[in-house]
Structure 1
């Protein structure tokens, strides 16, 4: 395979799902619908949390951050994918590819960290209910959210910046719908040992540790619930963390499915299809899980939607 200097790299080619022109409109409609549902659903959760005083609690504060992260996660990849399908193009610039990698890792790590923080919040609420408001005070909640954002950005920077040292082969065809870091590293002609080391280190810090924290928190939660004698109290305790546990299960099962599928088979097509669950389906389903399994959130969304016409009318009156 021919080699090329990094200075000559101006763009990559995203091969996407298919080159069949008959399937392009179908894919465009499917992914556009998924993106609009994801964006709208998560935006409604953010607006409901902001507008409803009943939801001004640590749990919903972290939920609004998670919804914002999901919007960013999907907005990093899907709009460019839709643009390429619409323009019948596969090109993404070198700078655009690096930007995708950076923000994809930022929002992916942020999801991990926020789910861990939310698991800790549920642990305190169920295992130490009398001290909940003392422990989960506004200052701690702000620090946990700020720390999650800071760690995500800090973790993404070295993974992205180390790509700048690589030279790439002349064939820069990425068998994916976005610039997935492992696929980009496969195209490098230079040594990727440093890159892989950084990837493993960041994965351990920002993926394995948060998952360990989630598992530890829920082991304590289940242990505490099992000691409750009242069946009604047990049900209430389970219901308070049911939505979060569903999202955690969906997030990690689909994420692990992507990496296990790529480990079991060398087929890029299999990995591409599996990544749809992780990058598109999970963020789209999160709002439904929280709204359908949570009575407070359902009530807040109903009140928000019922007030929407009057708010829009007021906004137009203000403009006129």
Structure 2
């Protein structure tokens, strides 16, 4: 191919803050042309590779009719890719969708899996049952954008949950555990847009405890950095945890994290420095208080080691996957 391959990302542009796609687009060296998703481009445009990230997000609409039309549109896009020998590459961010979809959705997602040639996983602990080849490319860090933003002074005793509030993330459990602690010097911030129904539950669980405060909406990059930098410890009360961009965001702002013990989190800790991690097997009040004492005793200096997650290296690794997929499709 005499020109840079053009890759259509299965992600819409989003101006609410730094997203995975923004980092991938900005981290490239121009040898690959990356474009954001639109249905018009996917159905009528000219591109060499279709790179899917969260396929369920492409087919979920605000009404049943919109969801039906999106499912059919994605099926048509996959048919068009097969007809034009456009390889489909998929990044597996999660083992399954965060919220289960309908049977009709599951059928079109299965078709997307069958159409996929190259699969990108973020860790070696992600099992992949589809695709003709698999590459492991770690999630990049957020320093290129976050280092330019102002930080807040750390608030002693401040614990933070930040990110989309979803049931599997255990935010309600965290609030209950925190409220069982009677230390008036502690505070808990819950920051992030709630999935349907979660905002009311968070507000109810927080009750009238003056130590618990919330910001239940999307926040800008600047506010994101301010919230993380003000925390003494960023807490991930997840009931299951595979890949987390927020984890990399917290480490990018040089804050220690409390995470569930898992092979993925253990591996990241070994990579970036175990002193930045506190693990738990079951989140409870004594463990939460002890985690804060452990972090204070470490007197953390320097920064987590994130050089293996520099975005130029991540972008180069993506380029190799795209070229391999094109060769496999007979277009290399």
Q: Which TM-score band applies after superposition, normalised by the shorter structure? A: under 0.3
Larger strand proportion, structure 1 or 2? Answer: 2
TM-score by length of structure 1 reads 0.24
Bigger relative contact order (CA 8 A; separation at least 6): 1
TM-score by length of structure 2 reads 0.24
